[in-house]
Each structure stands twice: as C-alpha cells, then as structure tokens.
Amino acid sequence: MAAAALVVAAILAAFAGVLSRAEIAGGLSTSDWAAIRFTILQALLSAAISVVLAVPVARALARRRFPGRGLVVTLLGAPFILPVIVAVLGLLVVFGRSGWVNAGLDLLGLPGLSIYGLHGVVLAHVFFNLPLATRLLLQAWQSVPSERFRLVAQLDLAPRALFRAVEWPLLKQVVPGVFALIFVICLTSFAVALTLGGGPRATTIELAIYQAFRFDFDLGRAAMLSLLQLVLAGGAAVLALGLLPSVSPDAGLDRPLQRWDARGGTQRFADGVSILLALLFLLGPILAVVLRGVAGLAQVPASVWQAAATSLWVAMLSVALLMALALPMAGWIAGRGRGRVEAIGLLGLSASPLMIGTGWFILINPWADPQALALPVTALVNAMMALPFALRSLVPGIRDVLRDYGRLAATLGLSGWALWRWLILPRLRPRLGFAAGLAAALSVGDLGVIALFADPDRATLPLQMYRLMGAYRMEAAAGAALILLSLALLVFWVFDRGGRWHHAGT
C-alpha cells in the first residue's frame, strides 16, 4: 500500500514539478489528435499480434522438452531488453532495404519488401514484445498442475477438447493482462514508431511530449500530453485488469511437469515450426547485432567498460528498489484479490521518462545538485518501469503460496517479517529471480532519464553507445552494443538462474 502510494507520488511529484513551472496550456491541435489516433492504433495492433503469435510459441515450449530448451527460453528474452536503436539497426540488417530478406527475395527475382510504414512499426513492436508475451504465457502454462494434464491423458481428450477444457480458461485469464502490458509499452514508443513509421504520419504522443520539452519548452503542454498518455494507459489497465476477474491458477503438487498429450505427429511438427519461426524472427536481428559487434569490439574505448560498470551498479540499485516497491505492493494486492492496484504498477511504465526526469529535475534542483542524484533517480525510474512485470509475476505467486500454506502459517502464528522470511520469500524465489533479472536487464539497456541528468563521468552504457554513434564511430558503437546485449543477458541469466538454484520442491 505504501509502495503503491510511493509510485503514484513519484509520478505526481514529477507532474507537480513540471506544472509548477508551466504556463497556462492551450488545447490540442489537429496534429495532436492525429498523433493520439496513430499511437492507439499501433499499440492495439502491436499488442494483439504479439499476444496471438505468442500463444502457439508458449504452448509449444510448455509441452516440449528438448536439449537447449532453457537456452532458447533465455534467448527469447533478449529482444525485450535491447536498446531501441540497437534493435532497430538489427531489424534493418534482416528486413531493411539491403537486408537479408530483401537480398533473398532479389535472388529469387521477387520484388523487395519495405519495412517502413505502420507494418514496420508493428513488426518492430512485435519483435520487442513477442518474447515478453511468450514468457508470461509460458509461466501461466507451467502453472497448470500436471495432475490436470494427467486427467486429460486419462480421458484421452482430443486437442480441441483439451483447448476448451484447459487452455482456453487459462488464456482467458492471462491474456488480458499481457495484452494491457504490451499495449502500454507500445503507447510510449517513440523512436521506433518514428524511425520505422516512415515520417510524421507515424507521430506518437511521446514525440509531441519530446518536442514540447526540447524545442518549445512548453511545460504546460508537455504536462498535458503526459497526462493524456497516463489516462490512456490507465484506462487500458483498468479495462484489462479491473473488469476481468483475476483468479490465480490452481495449485498442483510440486513435481516436474510431465505431459502425455500432444504426441501426434502433426502437433509435434506444428510445435517445432512455431519454435523455429520464433527463433528465426527473434534471433536473426540479434545475430546481426552480434556479428556487427564482434568486428567493433577491438575499437571500443576504455570509457565504454567504465560505463558498463556504472550501468551494472545502477541495475543492482534498481533491483533493490524494485524489490522494496514490488514486494509490499504484491503482498497487498494478493491480499485484496483484485487487480485494480496492479493498474498503478502500469502507470510507472506509461509515464513519459522525459516528463518524470524533467519533473524530478525541477524538484531536486533547488535542494541538491541533480547530477549527484543522476544514478539513483535513474535506478528509481528503471525500477518503476520494471514494476508491472514484477507484479504480474509476484501477485499470483503470493496468492498461490497463501492459498496452499496460509492456514499452516496461521496455525504457527507466522506473521509480519517471519511470514515473509520463512514462507513467502523462499516460495517466491523463482519468480523473484525472474523479476529481478528483468529489472536488471531493463535497467542496463535503458537510456531514458539518464540523458537528462548525466555528466561525462557518470555515463551509462547505452548513453556511451549513443555518444559513440554521435561521433561517427559506428563500429565502436556496434561493439558497445554487443557488450550491452551480453551484459543485459548475463544479469538476467544470473538472477533468473539464482532464483531457481537449489530451489526446493520446484
């Protein structure tokens, strides 16, 4: 509860900061309305396609065991944590005008594809968010007790009956939240939408906020647009999380999930194709980033390594802050049994980083040197970005734990810290590991607010990479991008693995 209040306060304070310096704002122009329409349209399409495509991939991963599956699952997380500019350049190596796909089409004598336009924006957003959707759906799938599948095997249910009996109820329960999450993420997109949208047609609200802050210095307008963005995101969140019941999946006895269904050749084939296509789509651009990066590694200046250390430090701080925010909030929400407060978590994502950064800058400036606080503020904003993901994962986890062991804990008089220390935290470890890994990786890759506060000694890795690009040093920047990618994957892997390491009964 206090944590939820803190998130709201952090955003409201930033608002108040901006408004304290704002002049009376005017209304919305026609180009603003066009931006709003485009923003919603692309976010809806991106979220819908990401979720629809994630279903077969998650299902395939849930019911297949093969060597390297763990690696595939980890790698599938990679696009989500890539800085936009790296990912976009990676996508272009594959889908661009002189990219691999078009080179292939050319060989076959077929006309080339253009990646620019609404479909390009959606393609990039699906690239970023398909892995996230897959991860969240996979988690849900794995929470179905294996007893359920044993029953399915006993009854010899046909795939369609299985879908109706087990999978459809599961999807109905999980998909709205995942959809809302991705919708909100895409809502604040700006560089992707602009670059691949092909021009001002593809203007989003975030660009209008950017312009208001940077060229017009119209704080009133910036605050109004930020508020609009928050309302849109909040509306989506309430619709998806509030109106639909959020029931936690049933518990099964802890034992490795074994599946007896889906042994048919067609299904095997379909699953294989799903996984393979997803891998090709997601790993192609990443492979491109790696190939470019290896060539540039030798040219990476020492300052990049220093920046990597800074980024790592910010990431750790951000994980600590995330835990401090997410655990009390998740505990509180789980106790309520309603998804409304989870909507607050989404606000952290939908608040424009530029708005939050500027707001906090205005607030901090009279009291302290904002640059001295650059890294803590960055860590806090990163933690708020990761909050909705953490909540989506932790809340059902806590609900399960309380349902299974709540009575036992109550007979023992476990409460307060002891309840967390001896029951909830140990049971949540895998989910905590996932949330912490995601937060750390996101933080490593985030450019967001740091650019507003940073000075040369405190640059983070993404900022340093941008600086290299800004100085024509594309090769060195590609090397930095590879370091960034590796670092983000590494911190994710360490946390995620750490969470599952020696985890009893899982």
Partner 1 sequence: MLELEELLIRLGTFELRATMALREGRRYAVIGPSGAGKSSLLNAICGFLPVAGGSVRVKGRDITADPPGQRPMTMLFQDNNLFPHLTLRQNVGLGLRPNLRLTAEDEELVAAALARVQLGDHAEKLPAALSGGQQSRAALARVLVQARPWVLLDEPFAALGPALRAEMLDLVENLVAETGAGLLMITHSPEDVRRIAEEAIFVADGRAEAPMSAADLLNDPPPALRVYLG
Partner 2 sequence: MKYLALAAGLAGASAAYAQAPELTVYTYDSFVADWGPGPAIEKAFEEECGCDLNFVGMGDGAALLARLKLEGARTDADVVLGLDTSLIAAAKETGLFQESDVSAQYDLPIAWDDEVFVPYDWGYFAFVHEDTLDAPANFRALADSDLKIVIQDPRSSTPGLGLLMWVKQAYGDEAPAIWEGLADNIVTVTKGWSEAYGLFLEGEADMVLSYTTSPAYHLIAEEDSSKAAAVFDEGHYMQIEVAGRLAASDRPDLAEQFLRFMVSDAAQSILPTTNWMYPAVMPEGGLPEGFETLVEPEKALLIQTEAVPTLRDEALQEWLAALSR
Task: Summarize as ranges the residues that interact with partner 1 (CB under 8 A).
Answer: 254, 404-405, 407-408, 410-415, 417-419, 421-423, 426-427, 429, 503-505
**Is the CB of 427 or the CB of 473 nearer to partner 1?**
427
Of positions 217, 269, 422, 501, contacts partner 2 by CB under 8 A? 217
Q: Which does residue 404 touch among partner 1, partner 2, none (CB within 5 to 8 A, set by kind)?
A: partner 1
Three-state secondary structure string covering 40-68: HHHHHHHHHHHHHHHHHHHHHHHHCCCCC
- Beta-carbon contacts of 262 under 8 Å, excluding residues fewer than 6 positions away, are 63, 159, 268, 271
Binding pattern to partner 2, positions 7-46, x when CB under 8 A? --------------x---------x--x------------
CB of residue 493 to partner 1, shortest distance in Å: 23
Nearest to 398 by CA among 182, 246, 216: 246
CA distance 273 to 372: 51
Q: Which two tokens stand for residue 217?
A: 């210095």
CB of residue 415 to partner 1, shortest distance in Å: 7
- Beta-carbon contacts of 4 under 8 Å, excluding residues fewer than 6 positions away, are 329, 332, 341, 344
**Is the CB of 103 or the CB of 412 nearer to partner 1?**
412
CB of residue 267 to partner 1, shortest distance in Å: 32
Query: Is residue 260 a contact residue for partner 2 (CB under 8 A)?
Result: no
CB of residue 505 to partner 1, shortest distance in Å: 4
Q: Which does residue 396 touch among partner 2, partner 1, none (CB within 5 to 8 A, set by kind)?
A: none
Q: Which residue has the tokens 């509306």?
A: 235
- Find the angle CA(252)-CA(502)-CA(78) to the nearest 5 degrees: 85
Q: Which does residue 394 touch among partner 2, partner 1, none (CB within 5 to 8 A, set by kind)?
A: none
Q: Which does residue 361 touch among partner 1, partner 2, none (CB within 5 to 8 A, set by kind)?
A: partner 2
CB of residue 304 to partner 2, shortest distance in Å: 9
Kind plus residue range of the DSSP H or E element containing 13: helix 2-20
**Is the CB of 279 or the CB of 474 nearer to partner 2?**
474
**Is the CB of 305 or the CB of 493 nearer to partner 2?**
305
Q: Which two tokens stand for residue 464?
A: 């340093």
| CA 493 distance to own-chain centroid | 16
The DSSP code for 369 is -
**Is the CB of 109 or the CB of 366 nearer to partner 2?**
366
**Is the CB of 7 or the CB of 419 nearer to partner 1?**
419
**Is the CB of 27 or the CB of 413 nearer to partner 1?**
413
- Beta-carbon contacts of 107 under 8 Å, excluding residues fewer than 6 positions away, are none
CA distance 155 to 166: 13
Q: Which does residue 238 touch among partner 1, partner 2, none (CB within 5 to 8 A, set by kind)?
A: none
Binding pattern to partner 2, positions 449-488, x when CB under 8 A? --xxxxxx------x--xxxxxxxxx--x-----------
CA distance 426 to 274: 34
Binding pattern to partner 2, positions 180-209, x when CB under 8 A? ----------xx--xxxxxxxx-----xx-
Query: Is residue 89 a contact residue for partner 2 (CB under 8 A)?
Result: yes
**By CB neighbour count within 10 A (0-12 exposed, 13-18 middle, 19+ buried), where does 346 fall?**
buried
CA distance 90 to 123: 13
**Is the CB of 118 or the CB of 414 nearer to partner 1?**
414
**Is the CB of 293 or the CB of 339 nearer to partner 2?**
293
H-only helix segments in 96-204: 100-107, 118-142, 146-155, 159-162, 168-187, 191-197
Query: Is residue 173 a contact residue for partner 2 (CB under 8 A)?
Result: no
Query: Is residue 93 a contact residue for partner 2 (CB under 8 A)?
Result: yes
Torsion of CA 50, 7, 393, 289, to 10 degrees: 50
DSSP assignment of 252-284 = --S------S--SHHHHHHHHHHHHHHHHHHHH
Q: Which does residue 505 touch among partner 1, partner 2, none (CB within 5 to 8 A, set by kind)?
A: partner 1
Query: Is residue 301 a contact residue for partner 2 (CB under 8 A)?
Result: yes
Residues 129-158 that bind partner 2 (CB under 8 A): none
CB of residue 402 to partner 1, shortest distance in Å: 11
CB of residue 413 to partner 1, shortest distance in Å: 3
CB of residue 355 to partner 2, shortest distance in Å: 13
CB of residue 326 to partner 2, shortest distance in Å: 31
- Beta-carbon contacts of 444 under 8 Å, excluding residues fewer than 6 positions away, are 81, 311, 312, 314, 315, 461, 462, 484, 487, 488, 491
Whole-angstrom CA distances from 39 to 11, 160, 194, 376 are: 21, 36, 11, 31
Binding pattern to partner 2, positions 404-433, x when CB under 8 A? ------------------------------
Binding site for partner 2 (CB under 8 A): 21, 31, 34, 85, 88-89, 92-93, 96-98, 116, 190-191, 194-201, 207-208, 210-211, 213-215, 217, 301-303, 358, 361-362, 365-366, 369, 371, 451-456, 463, 466-474, 477
